[in-house]
Amino acid sequence: ATPLRTLAAAKGKFIGFAAATSPLANEAAYRTIAQTEFNQITAENAMKWDATEPSDNSWNFSGADQIVNFAVANNQAVHGHTLVWHSQTPGWVQGLGATAMRTAMQDHITTLVGRYASNTALQSWDVVNEVFEENGSFRSSFWYNTLGQSFIADAFRYARAADPDAKLCINDYNVEGINAKSTAMYNLVQSLRAQNVPVDCVGFQGHLATQYGFPSDLQQNMARFAALGVQVRVTELDVRILTPRTSAKDTVQAQYYTNVVNACLAVTACAGITIWGFTDKYSWVPDTFPSEGFALPYDSSYAVKPAYTAINTAL
């Protein structure tokens, strides 16, 4: 089959994957698919705060550099993930008072974004991740509880100052369809842009599950964000099924992948799709959702599944 990246590029879109650092370093089969099929990479964990700045102003860029170097060698774009999140952030940050927390956030963003600002592979960042509750209120995180909602605008301003060229994104899950959470995100993006806060992009994570149904208004939702003037993207796509895997479930899953690709193709402002991994050998799903799995387009032996064929055919 024609590689996904060739097909996507012909449509003006990226097709990417979340990279795990260990197989990227150690497994030829993983590397081969990574470089052949994809033209964009997100670090699954290597750019998160706990990986990059485990203690105050003590930095570890090994995993982040590994991924950026791989991307440069293979002519792939990198999406930085993620600067400000309530999860995978060290305790030393969580315990700070307001002034010190804001300073720590500024230092973290300035250093991490600044490191890759002149690297043309690094084209975008998730500046804030998962700031909403399901009902559309702001998530009760240590960020919000210490700083109030101003941490969001501040984070975008610090990121813009550190890399004026990167697309700056707000990212979340369960915002693929039109619902209370995605409408809160829509209202926030509209209000931030009205205040000249540099929000360029909205990320829909896309952690879908066949037992919950497909968000059939995905395209309509993307279109309303696009009308605000932002780029949209699917940032963490996977489609989990209830175990055991069957061919009937593979077929339903493949249709979900088709639907996501079609929605992105139908919306000019949709820059592309990142799959949260590519092989069932390395997926966060079984570790996170009991009795669920098999969410990705390659099986654990790197054989293509119907989901791969669906993406390839739709692109």
Give the binding site for ligand XIL (CB under 6 A).
44-45, 129, 205, 236, 284
Residue placing its CB nearer to ligand XIL in the complex, 79 or 102 = 79
Residue placing its CB nearer to ligand XIL in the complex, 174 or 231 = 174
Amino acid code (one letter) for 300: S
Q: Give the long-range contacts of residues 281-289, CB within 8 A, separation 24 or more.
A: 281/23, 282/20, 282/23, 282/30, 283/238, 284/44, 285/238, 285/240, 289/209, 289/240
Least distance (Å) from ligand XIL to the CB of residue 289?
11
Residue 236: active-site member = yes
Within a 10 A sphere around the Cβ of 272, how many other Cβ atoms? 23
Least distance (Å) from ligand XIL to the CB of residue 196?
27
Residue placing its CB nearer to ligand XIL in the complex, 232 or 314 = 232
12: alpha, beta or left? (left if phi > 0; alpha if psi -120 to 50): left
Two tokens, residue 53:
């700045």
Least distance (Å) from ligand XIL to the CB of residue 44?
5
Least distance (Å) from ligand XIL to the CB of residue 11?
25
Q: Give CA–CA dist 5/8, Å, rounded.
A: 5
Residue placing its CB nearer to ligand XIL in the complex, 277 or 312 = 277
Q: Give CA–CA dist 264/131, Å, rounded.
A: 24
Residue number with the shortest CB distance to ligand XIL? Answer: 284
Q: Give CA–CA dist 216/129, Å, rounded.
A: 24
DSSP result, 256-279:
HHHHHHHHHHH-TTEEEEEES-SB
Residue placing its CB nearer to ligand XIL in the complex, 240 or 305 = 240
DSSP result, 2-67:
--HHHHHHHTT-EEEEEEPHHHHHH-HHHHHHHHHH-SEEEESSTTSHHHH-SBTTB---HHHHHH
Amino acid code (one letter) for 1: A
Please name the residue that has the structure tokens 């929605």.
263
Closest CA to 256 of 294, 201, 300: 294
Residue 130: active-site member = yes
Residue placing its CB nearer to ligand XIL in the complex, 154 or 236 = 236
Residue placing its CB nearer to ligand XIL in the complex, 7 or 239 = 239
Within a 10 A sphere around the Cβ of 293, how many other Cβ atoms? 20
Strand partners, 80: 125
Least distance (Å) from ligand XIL to the CB of residue 295?
11
User: Which is the catalytic residue, given 37, 44, 53, 130?
Assistant: 130
Q: Which 3 state secondary structure label does DSSP give 112?
A: helix
Catalytic residue positions? 130, 236
